[in-house]
Amino acid sequence: MADGKDLAEDEYIVARIAGTKIESGRRYYLIEWEGYDLKDNTWEDESNVFSTEAIKEYKTASKRQNKSSRNPLASKKALLHNTFDPDTGTYTKKMSRPTIIKKAETVVVQTQKRQRDLIETETESVTVSKPVKEARIGMENLSLESKSIFDQKMDLVRQSVPVKYPIVRMANHQLINKRPVYYVKNLKSKVTLINEVDDEIPTNFIYIDQLVYTDPVQPPDPDFLPGCDCSLSSDCSLACHDVNAYDSNGRLIIHQGTAIYECNQACGCSTKCKNRVVQMGRKIPLQVFKTPAKGWGVRSTQFIPKGTFIEEYIGEVIKVEEGDARGAIYDKLGCSYLFDMDFAQSELATKYVIDSYILGNVSRFFNHSCSPNLEVYAVFYDSADNQMHRLAFFAKRDIYKDEELCFDYNGRIDVSVEEKSEDSARYSCHCQAKDCRKWIYH
C-alpha cells in the first residue's frame, strides 16, 4: 500500500488515515483511499501501511480533534470526524469550519485572506479575522520557533506569485474628505481604497484575481468536464439544464444551499451564454474602506439588485490538513482566513481549503453581519470534482449605494448556533444589526 509514485498493480494511494483499532493484539488503520468514496474505506493491518507521514498526520489530527496530548494509538478504537467505519456501516460525527468569511476586525464564519507589500487588510474566511494591529500583537503569543516557521512559509507563498495588481495612489492626488484615494491597478472592474479613520493602508497581502493552487494541490483537470452540445450560444440554459440558476438578466434565482453549475470549456456554447456568470468575473465597482470598530470593510459604489453576482472568494487552495495547521496559528492571532470547499461534506470529507491570508482579492475584506446582504454559494465551472469548487458572493437583497457588503460568518443553514457553540471559539460581534447575536463562532 503506497502513498506516492510508481504504484504496483496491487498498490493504492492513501488519501488519509482516519482511525485506528486493536483486534487480537494487532493494530489496524482505517484507510480512506484517494479517488474512492468513503464507503470504500477499509481497515488495514499496520504491516500493510507504509506511509509514516500519513500515520503522523493521523496522530496530529486526532490530538487536535480531542484537544488532548494523549497518544491516539493508546485507544482500542479511535476515529476521526467526517469518515466512514465499515465495521459499523456508519459515518462519524460531521464537523466543519465556519462557512463564511472573517474579516480584519470582525469575526465571521467564512474564508479570508491576508496581506503583503502592496495593500493590507485583514478579512477572515470561514471564520472571522481581526484587525491587522491586533493580529501583530497576537504574534507575541506564539513561540519564537513557531513564528519563525510560519513567517518562512508565508514568505515562500509571497515569492511564488508575481505582483500583477499593485495598490497605488490615484493620479493627480485625488482626495475624498481630504483623504487620499488608492486603487488596485490593472483590474477590469475598479476597486478603490480609502481610509478616513487613520493613516494605515493594507499592504501585507498580494492582490490576485485567480485561485492559486499550492503543491500538492493540483488545478482541476479539464478533461473530466462534462459539456453540453447546445447551439444556442446566448440561451443554452433553457435547453441544457434541469435547474436554471440565473434569470435572463444573469441574477440568481435559486435558494442558498443549492450549488450552481455553470457551462464550462467543454460546452458548445459561447462566452455569451447566460449560464456563464461567476466565471466572467466581477462587474460591480467596489470600495475598501476603514471602519471605526471593525477594521477594513467593503461597500458598493452603486445600487446592486438582489441576486447580482458580487465577487468570488479568491485565495490560495491548500489541503485541509495544511489548513488545520495554519488555522492553529490564526487562532493565536485572533483571526482566520480559511474557507472550506465543503459543499459535498454530507457525503465526502472536506479535502480543500481556500486561504486568503497572503493571497486574496477584495472579498478578503468582507465583514460579518448577523443581518447580511450577501450570501455564499458553491459554484462549479472548471471542476468535475465535488470536493473542489468555487465560492461566490451574491446579493441577498437589493443593496444601496455606499452600503457595506457583509455576510454571515455563521451562515451555514445546516448547523444551528447551539451546535456551533459547543466546541467553537467565539468572538464578540460588532455588526450593530438589530438582531445581532452578540457572538461569532468558529
Per the annotation, where are the binding residues for Zn(2+)? 228, 230, 236, 263, 267, 269, 273, 370, 429, 431, 436
Q: d(Cα 423, Cα 331) in Å, to the nearest integer?
A: 14
From the number of C-beta atoms within 10 Å of its C-beta (0-12, 13-18, 19+), residue 268 rates as: middle
Residue (of 389, 413, 372, 424) closest to 127 by Cα position = 424
> Residues annotated as binding site?
228, 230, 236, 263, 267, 269, 273, 370, 429, 431, 436
Quote helix, strand, coil % in the chain, to nearest 5.
20, 30, 50
Q: What is the 3-state secondary structure (H, E, C) of 50-77?
A: CCHHHHHHHHHHHHHHHCCCCCHHHCCE
DSSP state, residue 387: T
Bridge partners (DSSP) of residue 175 are: 180
Q: d(Cα 129, Cα 98) in Å, to the nearest integer?
A: 12
Indicate the Cα dihedral angle 208, 209, 213, 219, nearest 10°.
Answer: -160
> 76: which 3 cell numbers?
482500542
> 242: which 3 cell numbers?
434541469
